[in-house]
Amino acid sequence: MFNGLDFYNLSDLFSEEEKMITQTVRQFVSEQFMPVVAGHHRSGTFPMDIIPRLGDMGALGVTIPEEYGGPGLSYFIYGLVMRELERGDSGLRSFASVQGSLVMFPIYRYGSEEQKRRWLPPLAAGEKIGCFGLTEPDFGSNPGGMLTRAKKTAGGWLLNGSKMWITNGSIADVAVVWAQTDDGVQGFLVEKDFTGFSAKAIEGKFSLRASITAELSFSDCFVPEENRLPGVKGLRGPLSCLNEARYGIAWGVTGAAMACYDEALNYARERIQFDKPIAAFQLTQHKLVEMVSEITKAQTLVYQLGRMKDTGRAQHFHVSLAKRNNVAMALEVARSARTILAANGISDEYQTIRHMLNLESVLTYEGTHEIHTLIIGQEITGESAFK
Ligand code: TGC
Ligand code: FAD
């Protein structure tokens, strides 16, 4: 039966390669991740054994060229991969976003040849894990105010400060850490066994439970000069990485929304009340139609954004519009799907509540909904309303 997951047949416009990769990742998620995700969500753990399998599939650093261990595919395919991963769980997509866009991208774009050769192949294979430290306890939306400082010393740098809410922080082999220096913000590759570096997992999360989030601390942590990213100075370094990850999120959340809509539609067809399937009630149909309309619009948005990104025409504010719109859309879809499932909608026997809770984090990270409003506002008015 027609289920509306691709209401406008956008997949007709995909190449054979795009269709094939979508199918491969979808099957992987359904066979290897779905059976374990609820357990990890309950225990607040990430399925570590899946990481090399993500690497084998080419899901880590999708656009990184083959000479550095990546599959060297298009941004459009990167988007499709993120969509299929987040159909499983935002935490699974987060893992791939951080590894690919926030760790491999800065090393590829701003790293030395030696840094690229050393880190990119094992990160692509999922043999090593990376994290990205920008946010601090007192500087989230305003990373330019960061207090973490790197001071030049003989042969390298002394790092002091802390980073907060860092995905994969306590399981990472290498952290891309952004710190203030006398010469502006710079990026450093901090290795897990460096003296003066520690990472502590954050407990008590009600969202993104199947994803590890940590606080990083640096106390006179010595970082050798060869671990500084030589290719960028200033806040545009970390912000340029965010453009990559936000792009993946804009695609990814369409997957979370599709999963919730699909579950609600199936439930509505089967659940009988007042001697009818609840899908027969006009109010339920209205909810489902709103969902399918919003998902379809969001899909068309990232479809065009993906083509723009692959032809070098996507700017940061285009990405902000898609991240802002699609995350809010996915959260609304999840909340509405939850009402269709009613009491069952609060149980992890169904996936909707997990997606709904996850999406609260996605609304906040990589630039809050409000920050993206102001980025777009600045672009169209020429006025900055941040400060
Ligand atoms: P502003 O003065 O506007 O800009 C400073 C410099 O940066 C340049 N720039 C950008 N460059 C590339 N891409 C962008 N998107 C850029 N936005 C700005 C700008 O041109 C300037 O360059 P230059 O060379 O002239 O110096 O900076 P501001 O301090 O006013 O801040 C602007 C603002 C608020 C938009 C920015 O700071 C921001 O985006 N804040 C949100 C912070 C954020 O998104 N943090 C995310 C942390 S990472 C994360 O959440 C990972 S979640 C991972 C997961 O699990 O998936
Ligand atoms: P704040 O900046 O304190 O904002 C509080 C509120 O004020 C928000 O509603 C915000 O929109 C609003 N606000 C702030 N400034 C303005 C303004 N100028 N105008 C209007 N409203 C404003 N960070 C990393 O560096 N690496 C990671 O891997 C990472 N992973 C994360 C994983 C999770 C699960 C979560 C929840 C967060 C993660 N983050 C990470 C941090 C995330 O990027 C920040 O939480 C986010 O940027 C917002 O910062 P904040 O929480 O300090 O909120």
Q: Which amino acid is at 311?
A: T
Q: How far is the CA of 239 from the centre of ligand 1 (A)?
A: 4
User: How much is the pLDDT for 1?
Assistant: 59
d(CA 238, CA 240): 5
277 forms bridges with which residues in the sheet?
272
Residues 336-348, mean pLDDT to the nearest whole number: 98
Active site includes 366? yes
Which atom of ligand 2 lies at the shortest distance from residue 205's CA? 34
- Read off the pLDDT of residues 277-309 as tens digits, 9 standing for 90 and up: 999 999 999 999 999 999 999 999 999 999 999
Atom of ligand 1 nearest to the CA of 316: 15
How far, in Å, are 37, 62, 328, 361 from residue 369 at the CA level? 27, 26, 8, 11
User: Which pLDDT tens digit goes with each residue over 151-173?
Assistant: 999 999 999 999 999 999 999 99
Q: Which of 105, 235, 363 to mutate to test the pocket of ligand 1 (most atoms within 8 A of CB)?
A: 235
Ligand 1 centroid distance, CA of 385 (Å): 14
pLDDT of 387 higher than 90 = no
pLDDT, tens digit, 9 for 90 and up, residues 47-68: 999 999 999 999 999 999 999 9
Q: What angle do CA 275, 281, 285 make, to 5 degrees?
A: 140
Helix-then-strand count for the chain, H and E: 12, 9
Q: Which listed ligand is nearest to 100 at the C-alpha?
A: 1
**Arithmetic mean of pLDDT, 187-214:** 98
Set out the domains of the chain in order of their start, with CATH numbers. Answer: 10-129 (1.10.540.10), 131-227 (2.40.110.10), 236-381 (1.20.140.10)
**pTM check: above 0.95:** yes
**Separation of 141 CA from ligand 1 center, angstroms?**
9
How many residues are given for the chain? 387
Exposed / middle / buried, residue 191 (Cβ in 10 Å: 0-12, 13-18, 19+) = middle
Task: Provide long-range contacts, Cβ within 8 A and 24+ apart, for 369-377.
Answer: 369/324, 369/327, 369/328, 370/141, 371/141, 372/320, 372/321, 372/323, 372/324, 373/324, 375/316, 375/317, 375/320, 376/317, 376/320, 376/321, 376/324
Q: Which residue has the tokens 């960028």?
A: 232
Residue nearest to atom 31 of ligand 2 (CA): 165
Closest residue CA from atom 21 of ligand 1: 236
Which pLDDT tens digit goes with each residue over 232-271?
Answer: 999 999 999 999 999 999 999 999 999 999 999 999 999 9
Q: Is the pLDDT of residue 364 over 80?
A: yes
- Please report the atom of ligand 2 found closest to the CA of residue 138: 52
Q: Could you report the per-residue pLDDT of 94-108, keeping only the tens digit for each?
A: 999 999 999 999 999
How do residues 305-328 score in pLDDT, each as one tens digit? 999 999 999 999 999 999 999 999
In the structure, which protein residues have their CB atom closer than 6 angstroms to any atom of ligand 2? 98, 132-135, 140-141, 165-167, 208, 213, 361, 364-366, 368, 370-371, 374, 386
User: Which tens digits make up the pLDDT trace of 133-143?
Assistant: 999 999 999 99
